[in-house]
Amino acid sequence: AQVTISHGNARVTAALPTGESVVVLLHGATVISWKDASGDEKLWLSEAAHLDGSKAVRGGIPLVFPVFGAGSNGEKTKDLPQHGFARNARWEFLGKSTSEGDSANVVKLDFGLSSESLADEYQKAWPYRFGLLYSVTLTRESLTTTIVITNDGDEPFEFQTLLHTYFRVKDISQVSIDGFDGAPYIDQLANRAAKTHAGAITFDGELDSIYTPAGGPKQEVTLSEGGRRRVRLVRDNLEDVVVWNPHVAKAAGMADFAPKDGWRNMVCIEAGSVRGWQRLDKGDAFEGAQTIHL
Ligand code: BG6
């Protein structure tokens, strides 16, 4: 038995012989499905998500680059769309690799995007030369997504990046997220007030905050439901974690969010570097990653 790959015009699907699978849209290199061996879906994807490239995907794992949110870097980011252009650009599938000696239990898919292949409007809005290499690695018990950003031009640039994972849950009121005790955070619903979190994160309304876990990028984040641990998120070189649930009103206001009570079945836990700005000088590279363990 072998890893199977199908590469259509719009998406790449990979499956392990044991049944685990992942689907990545070339639009945004957005992971839109990740299933375990029993076919259980781990990611939330809106029923009204646009998968035809006309809009960023509502669900799965959109990739945020080079700016998080509306941007706060003055002139340099003012013309960029919310969360940047990477999730709105068509990426190239660069191929798959399996690991020697373990070829039935792991598959890695590589995707690329560079400034040259970017739509004119985005090149104008962000006139730097860069390369992005995004790898999605599926194993029997985990999914890893890795972003490598290179500065291929002469000018230094500043960026933010984030892996905007929408986790599927059964009931948000039963969810608790650990790893944030003592974490400083920015409350995006309270005028970006700076606060400090204590204990686990639970949900009784809208939540939209940027945490910087006190244990640093190596601090694990765990998602539990009904007291049972569901997933464990391990970061590499990504110091911030955004946690977001839109609740009733925000969900109602998003045309591509369906069903309207879908906020009960999702939570975004987003590993990234978004509180400040990463600077890349000519020829330099930045690498950040997350591994989600079942
Ligand atoms: C989160 C932000 O990362 O993304 C939220 O913290 C935002 O403020 C959410 O609402 C969704 O953003 P978008 O652009 O996909 O609607």
pLDDT in tens, 17-34: 999 999 999 999 999 999
pLDDT in tens, 52-67: 999 999 999 999 999 9
pLDDT for residue 76: 80
Strand, coil or helix: what is 127?
A: coil
> Predicted confidence band at 2 (pLDDT cuts at 50, 70, 90)?
confident
Nearest to 157 by CA among 115, 202, 188, 193: 115
> Predicted confidence band at 249 (pLDDT cuts at 50, 70, 90)?
very high
Instruction: Answer yes or no: is the C-beta of 239 below 6 A from any ligand 1 atom.
Output: no
What is the 81 CA–ligand 1 centroid distance (Å)? 12
pLDDT of 72 > 80? The answer is no
For residues 119 and 115, give the distance between their C-alpha atoms in angstroms, rounded to a whole number.
Answer: 9
Active-site residue, 164 included: yes
For residues 161 and 31, give the distance between their C-alpha atoms in angstroms, rounded to a whole number.
Answer: 16
pLDDT for residue 108: 96
> Predicted confidence band at 100 (pLDDT cuts at 50, 70, 90)?
confident
Which among 27, 164, 225, 239 is annotated as catalytic? 164
Residue with CA nearest ligand 1 atom 14: 82
What strand order describes the sheet that includes 11-15?
4-7, 11-15, 21-25, 30-35
pLDDT of 217 > 80? The answer is yes
pLDDT for residue 203: 98
pLDDT for residue 8: 87
For residues 18 and 140, give the distance between their C-alpha atoms in angstroms, rounded to a whole number.
Answer: 8
pLDDT of 199 > 80? The answer is yes
What is the 2 CA–ligand 1 centroid distance (Å)? 38
Instruction: Answer yes or no: is the C-beta of 237 below 6 A from any ligand 1 atom.
Output: no
For residues 150 and 201, give the distance between their C-alpha atoms in angstroms, rounded to a whole number.
Answer: 35
Active-site residue, 270 included: yes
Arithmetic mean of pLDDT, 204-217: 97
246-264 burial: b if 16+ Cβ within 10 Å, else e: bbeeebeeeeebeeeebbb
Strand, coil or helix: what is 116?
A: helix
Question: How confident is the prediction for the chain on average, in pLDDT?
Answer: 96
Say if residues 56 and 86 touch (Cβ distance below 8 Å): no
What is the 69 CA–ligand 1 centroid distance (Å)? 7
For residues 262 and 65, give the distance between their C-alpha atoms in angstroms, rounded to a whole number.
Answer: 26
| H/E run at residue 109 | strand 106-114
Instruction: Answer yes or no: is the C-beta of 242 below 6 A from any ligand 1 atom.
Output: yes
Arithmetic mean of pLDDT, 244-265: 98
Instruction: Answer yes or no: is the C-beta of 83 below 6 A from any ligand 1 atom.
Output: yes
Any idea which of 99-113, 122-136, 255-269, 271-285 has the lowest mean pLDDT? 99-113
The share of the chain scoring above pLDDT 90, in percent, equals 91
The values of phi and psi at residue 33, to 5°, are: -155, 140
What is the 68 CA–ligand 1 centroid distance (Å)? 9
